[in-house]
Amino acid sequence: MPESSLSITLIEPKADAKVSVAAPAPKNAMQKLLEKLGLKRDIDLALHLPLRYEDETRITRLRDAREGDMIQIEGEVVESEVVYKPRRQLLVKLDDGSDVCTLRFFNFYPNQQKALSVGNRIRARGEVRGGFLGWTMLHPHCKPAGGDLPTALTPVYPTMAGMPQAYLRKAVLSGLARAELSDTFAPGDLSQINPHALWTLRQALQFLHHPTPDVSLDTLMDHSHPAWQRLKAEELLAQQLSQLQSRRARAELRAPPLQGKVGDTLHARLLAALPFALTGAQQRVGFEIAKDMARNVPMHRLLQGDVGAGKTVVAALAATICMDAGWQCALMAPTEILAEQHFRKLVSWLEPLGITTAWLIGSQKTKARREALAMIESGEAKLVVGTHAVIQDKVRFQNLALAIIDEQHRFGVAQRLALRSKASVGPGHGDDKAHPFEPHLLMMTATPIPRTLAMSYYADLDVSTLDELPPGRTPIVTKVVNEARRGEVVQRIRAQVAEGRQVYWVCPLIEESEALDLTNATETHAELSHALQQAAGPGAAPVQVGLLHSRMPTDEKKAVMADFVAGKTAVLVSTTVIEVGVDVPNASLMVVEHAERFGLSQLHQLRGRVGRGAAASACVLLYSTGDAPRLGEAARERLRAMAETNDGFEIARRDLEIRGPGEFLGARQSGDAMLRFADLATDAALLEWARQEAPMMLDRYPHLAEKHVQRWLGTKAEFLKA
């Protein structure tokens, strides 16, 4: 039943009455929107599965309705009037013979009002509420009564502004009809996991797009239905195959073997010069990395370790091995502030050993950049540190052999690819001209993925884990505090400052509005400066409070950061949650405002900014419930996890539990979410199946394997291999 023929269903039920109704975009614009949704091929459309379903297969009598049900009713309009209290609205009373329901519209067109005039018979679909006025529905979808009822549930697809469901439904339907859906593996292959999962791909897709009304909606929503099992197995297999393909392809590539040397090497001298001994974990991962680099196949390793675990020194030691072998090394960080910290640290370690380090960032003066580029090209600079600027076209390395990416999840796949391409050094360097060298790649992240998950999921990545913090750290005490007790928190800040300690105050980014974000931070800054002064009493020396927000020019940001690092400011108010990785050991208190708005791993990252010195450190998570009586379940779980543990891996595990792995991994892939359907927490058995199946399929049925990967990943396949 084509919904486009309906004249009275134009308005989506939106709580906000100010929303204007956008006309659907013209046809070629629709095509563009489909592409934006990633729906280019027939198979993409066929794999675009419903978010949920609506049951339009039956009419419910109001007498049988339950509060909050999404139902369809049919009856006669017995009253229809526009009232102005409290604001302009259309109230329509619909009598279905068993009871009466008031339909309420805040937005309506004259023709809708006409369609809803007294005496007309109407079918209305919406969420029914009981209450003082009897049954009501807010902005129900309405159409003339009568007409066929569909026999399958109506799918509701993920969409975007300007793309109406009706259009998307038709597009998906025709994509599904045209797509080539022959099986790449037999339904029976899955029977060991689930004896009921004997569905072909075609059956599964047809069912999931148009399930019969007798299905248990729960099994569709939690993806446990056998049709879902088939799709999840398909998806996991595609993911494993593509990673396996890229692992095999990588094995064909060549990288300069960077063998560790004995004697008076940079590596030995840096180790000797460090003011601390390496932890056992640092030694172990250092060994894993060195072993990879010694091979003539490019390393592809993820170094994961909690904030403060000491990844930088591991990276620096890897760099010295590379330089000892006579090759260049590059280190890239996602922000200028972070890159600069690395630069300073590495220079302080390596300059005394005679190493020249080049510095490359986007906002650099032309002259400085030209000099840096020249040093990199001539090989005078053995080490290059910077931001994305490191992978720009103009940058030519003399002989790059090791690329290190810090906070790798903040970089896109394209950037990782670009960095790799920097390495193909010219002829004369390789032992084989057909095989230009690729650099070894070391990626670092402080948002750990539980180890088992990482190992099985990233079939194309070797994982090293720093699971031990350097000694001498006092654990951070975390307190969850209601916003109402802000005054006490200010006192506490005052006390810390009086002891010569420093404090971070983090305001949440307000995503909808950068301007609001700024006002908010500016106000907090003023308010805090004032309150600290009051708390100190008259005549006390003023407490210097710095302000850092995302819209400041880089120079200003740097100056503010430098003042804080130097201890000139005691308190730093910041919205710039992006500056993870800053290292100010004297900071011993972190206050996070509206902590309930932050993600769990984000909170953990923030907390990692304190507790870097020997002093006892604390983290105060201020929360506000707003108008609600209490915090939502997920927010409470996040804050509880923060209060209960300091362990990044435990945090990651809880995060996984609270959010579900699809989102969990997705967030870490900076936009290129890899799993749409499977859920690694609940689908471990399917993942294991896919892991075993993938190598066999690749060996025995390479064409089927390729077809499978193309079908599922299409043009993304290349990308995922980065």
**What is the contact surface with ligand ADP in residues (CB under 6 A)?**
276, 278-279, 282, 305, 307-313, 446, 470, 583, 612
Residue nearer to Mg ion on the CB measure, 170 or 345? 345
Min CB(566)–ligand ADP separation in Å = 16
For residue 426, count other CB atoms closer than 10 A to its CB. Answer: 12
Amino acid at 618: A
* Contact of residue 675 among Mg ion, ligand ADP, none (CB under 5-8 Å per partner type): none
The span from the CA of 521 to the CA of 687, in Å, is 45
Rg (C-alpha) for the chain, rounded Å, is 30
* Contact of residue 605 among ligand ADP, Mg ion, none (CB under 5-8 Å per partner type): none
Min CB(312)–Mg ion separation in Å = 5
Min CB(582)–Mg ion separation in Å = 9
Min CB(665)–Mg ion separation in Å = 21
Residue nearer to ligand ADP on the CB measure, 274 or 634? 274
Closest CA to 273 of 215, 219, 201, 348: 348
Beta bridge partners of 423: none
Min CB(601)–Mg ion separation in Å = 15
Min CB(305)–ligand ADP separation in Å = 5
Which long-range contacts (C-beta less than 8 Å, at least 24 apart) are formed by 610-613? 610/476, 610/504, 611/308, 611/473, 611/474, 611/475, 611/476, 612/308, 612/473, 612/583, 612/584, 612/585, 612/587, 613/585, 613/586, 613/588
Buried b (16+ CB within 10 A) or exposed e, 670-683: eeeebbbbbbbbeb
Residue nearer to ligand ADP on the CB measure, 311 or 388? 311
* Contact of residue 576 among ligand ADP, Mg ion, none (CB under 5-8 Å per partner type): none
Residue nearer to Mg ion on the CB measure, 464 or 496? 464
* Contact of residue 305 among Mg ion, ligand ADP, none (CB under 5-8 Å per partner type): ligand ADP
The span from the CA of 338 to the CA of 610, in Å, is 16
Min CB(459)–ligand ADP separation in Å = 25
* Contact of residue 646 among ligand ADP, Mg ion, none (CB under 5-8 Å per partner type): none
From the number of C-beta atoms within 10 Å of its C-beta (0-12, 13-18, 19+), residue 656 rates as buried
Point out the residue whose Cβ comes nearest to Mg ion.
581
* Contact of residue 129 among Mg ion, ligand ADP, none (CB under 5-8 Å per partner type): none
Min CB(318)–ligand ADP separation in Å = 13
* Contact of residue 279 among Mg ion, ligand ADP, none (CB under 5-8 Å per partner type): ligand ADP
The span from the CA of 502 to the CA of 493, in Å, is 8
Closest CA to 677 of 204, 284, 301, 187: 204
The span from the CA of 504 to the CA of 587, in Å, is 7
What one-character-per-residue DSSP string does 685-705 give? HHHHHHHHHHHHHHHH-HHHH
Min CB(317)–ligand ADP separation in Å = 11
* Contact of residue 140 among ligand ADP, Mg ion, none (CB under 5-8 Å per partner type): none
Q: Could you tell me which residues come within 8 angstroms of residue 359 by beta carbon, excluding any fewer than 6 positions away? A: 343, 368, 372, 384, 385, 386
Residue nearer to ligand ADP on the CB measure, 651 or 690? 651
What is the DSSP secondary structure assignment for residue 189, as one 8-state letter? G
Residue nearer to Mg ion on the CB measure, 339 or 694? 339
Contact yes or no for 372/364 (Cβ under 8 A) = yes
Q: Could you tell me which residues come within 8 angstroms of residue 28 by beta carbon, excluding any fewer than 6 positions away? A: none
Residue nearer to ligand ADP on the CB measure, 557 or 612? 612
Residue nearer to Mg ion on the CB measure, 508 or 581? 581
Residue nearer to ligand ADP on the CB measure, 260 or 305? 305
Min CB(407)–ligand ADP separation in Å = 9
The span from the CA of 201 to the CA of 199, in Å, is 6
Residue nearer to ligand ADP on the CB measure, 30 or 577? 577
Widest CA span in the chain? 97
Which residue has tokens 């302080």?
Answer: 348
Residue nearer to Mg ion on the CB measure, 309 or 532? 309
Query: Strands 328-332 and 383-386: what pairing?
Result: parallel
Closest CA to 471 of 338, 639, 281: 281
Q: Is the peptide bond before 334 cis (omega within 30 degrees of 0)?
A: no
Residue nearer to ligand ADP on the CB measure, 211 or 386? 386
Min CB(311)–Mg ion separation in Å = 5
Min CB(303)–ligand ADP separation in Å = 9
* Contact of residue 139 among ligand ADP, Mg ion, none (CB under 5-8 Å per partner type): none
Min CB(406)–Mg ion separation in Å = 6
Min CB(463)–ligand ADP separation in Å = 15
Min CB(474)–Mg ion separation in Å = 20
What one-character-per-residue DSSP string does 464-491 give? EEE--PPTTPPPPEEEEEEGGGHHHHHH
Residue nearer to ligand ADP on the CB measure, 258 or 313? 313
Min CB(637)–ligand ADP separation in Å = 25
* Contact of residue 293 among ligand ADP, Mg ion, none (CB under 5-8 Å per partner type): none
Residue nearer to ligand ADP on the CB measure, 100 or 562? 562
Q: Could you tell me which residues come within 8 angstroms of residue 248 by beta carbon, excluding any fewer than 6 positions away? A: 698
Q: Is 146 left (phi over 0), alpha (psi -120 to 50) or beta?
A: left
DSSP H/E element including 442? strand 440-445
* Contact of residue 282 among ligand ADP, Mg ion, none (CB under 5-8 Å per partner type): ligand ADP
Residue nearer to ligand ADP on the CB measure, 9 or 341? 341
* Contact of residue 310 among Mg ion, ligand ADP, none (CB under 5-8 Å per partner type): ligand ADP
Residue nearer to ligand ADP on the CB measure, 189 or 583? 583
The span from the CA of 308 to the CA of 584, in Å, is 11
* Contact of residue 469 among Mg ion, ligand ADP, none (CB under 5-8 Å per partner type): none
* Contact of residue 276 among Mg ion, ligand ADP, none (CB under 5-8 Å per partner type): ligand ADP
State the number of CA atoms in the 13 A half-sphere of 126 facing the CB: 25
Query: Strands 587-592 and 440-445: what pairing?
Result: unpaired
Which residue has tokens 């609506």?
Answer: 54
* Contact of residue 575 among Mg ion, ligand ADP, none (CB under 5-8 Å per partner type): none
* Contact of residue 308 among ligand ADP, Mg ion, none (CB under 5-8 Å per partner type): ligand ADP
**N- to C-terminal Cα distance for the chain?**
45
Contacts with Mg ion, residue ranges (CB under 5 A): 581
